[in-house]
Amino acid sequence: MSQSHHEEQREGIEWNRLSWNERVQVHWESAMYRQHADALRDGGHDLAEHIVRGVGPVGGQSLVHLQCHMGMETLAWSRLGAKATGLDFSQPAIDKAVGLRDELGLDTTFVCGNVYDARELIEGQFDVVFVSIGSLCWLPDVNRWAEIVASLLRPGGRLFLNDVHPMMDMLEDKPDDPKGFGLHYPYLGGERIVTEQDGTYADDTVGFKHTRNAEWSHPLGETVTAVIDAGMRITRLEESSRCVWPALKVMQRVGDERWEFPEPWRGKLPVEYTLTAELT
């Protein structure tokens, strides 16, 4: 008997949860995340400047960070004065977040659970819902996600979403191609994309047991419409040719915190986007 649509979604989310669980310790020990943690230990943070500027002042405001992984960005918002809460579906990741929070002496709240259950797991309404890079591709239903976001916001509260541009979800590394990359995945369709990945973006470690992942492509129009239909007013939508990590091997570092395609593609392909909205 074939799976129902909802069974397929649940199965994919469980694959992803197991995959993220297994990679937490490797991420914790990686240079990428050590840099984030050390910035916090040194009394600061290393949130990208364009992120801090885009979210705006958070002093005295309530902020919830959905899909927070090990909570280092969440802790950074606490450091900047927010009353911050982080939610992630990986218990090992939340355990790391809580441990670092206690080490730093911050009052950040962390909750383990599926983002679709956020309204049942987290009390109250927030001034800011923060969603950062590499989030929506793991979610099968962006309309339901937008409804959850709206339910978490107080009237006049704001969503800040900074994520990988869906065009990037179409591409993969192709060493034999002169460009070094090429089209592989669909932009439209909404079907589950199943991949086998023995590795992680944060480290060269391989040999993982849980290698199967499920992703879903959400075209920009789908996400924009979902936000509007959930009762939010879009205040900003920007596309950028730069990203906070090398999504493909051909990408080159630009400055301390951004990566982009080399020539002749530099400045010509969207790599990430930022969407902000207010609950009306």
Indicate the DSSP class of residue 57: -
The neighbour count for residue 58, using CB atoms within 10 Å, is 19
CATH label of the domain that carries residue 69: 3.40.50.150
Q: Which residues pair with 88 in a beta bridge?
A: 112
What is the pLDDT confidence band of residue 2, given thresholds at 50, 70 and 90? low
Residue 13 has pLDDT above 70, yes or no: yes
pLDDT range class, residue 143, cuts 50, 70, 90: very high
* Cα 258 to the center of its chain, rounded Å: 16
Q: Is residue 257 part of a domain?
A: no
Does pTM surpass 0.85? yes
Q: What angle do CA 265, 268, 271 make, to 5 degrees?
A: 95
Q: Determine, yes or no, domain membership for 207.
A: no
Q: Establish if 200 belongs to a structural domain.
A: no
Instruction: Show the domain range for 104.
Output: 5-165+219-242+272-279
d(CA 143, CA 237): 18
Angle formed by the axes of helices 31-41 and 72-79, nearest 10°: 20
pLDDT value of residue 17: 97
Alpha helices (H) along the chain: 5-29, 31-41, 49-55, 72-79, 91-104, 118-121, 142-152, 220-229
Q: Supply φ then ψ for residue 67, to 5 degrees.
A: 60, 60
Q: Which amino acid is at 40?
A: L
> Residue 183 falls within a domain, yes or no?
no
Hunting for tokens 């927010």 — which residue is that? 82
Specify if 256 maps to a domain. no
Total of domains in the chain: 1
SS3 state at 54: helix
CA distances from 196 to 41, 199, 210 (A): 35, 9, 9
Q: Is the dihedral of CA 76, 79, 84, 86 positive or negative?
A: positive
pLDDT digits (tens, 9 = 90+) for 193-242: 998 888 788 777 778 899 899 999 999 999 999 999 999 999 999 999 99
Q: Which of 135, 156, 158, 120 is nearest to 216 (CA)?
A: 135
Taking phi over 0 as left and psi of -120 to 50 as alpha, with beta for the rest, 266 belongs to beta
64-76: per-residue pLDDT in tens?
999 999 999 999 9
Q: Residue 118's pLDDT band (boundaries 50, 70, 90)?
A: very high
**Average pLDDT, rounded, for the chain:** 94
pLDDT score for 183: 87
Question: Do the domain assignments include residue 116?
Answer: yes
Please report, for residues 25, 50, 78, 168, 270, the alpha-carbon distance to residue 239 in angstroms, rounded to integers and kept in the order given: 33, 13, 27, 12, 6
Q: How do residues 146-179 score in pLDDT, each as one tens digit? A: 999 999 999 999 999 999 999 998 998 998 888 9
Q: Is position 250 within any domain?
A: no
Q: 92, 191, 148: which is closest to 279 by C-alpha? A: 148
Q: How far apart are CA 18 and CA 149, in angstroms?
A: 25
Does residue 214 form part of some domain?
A: no
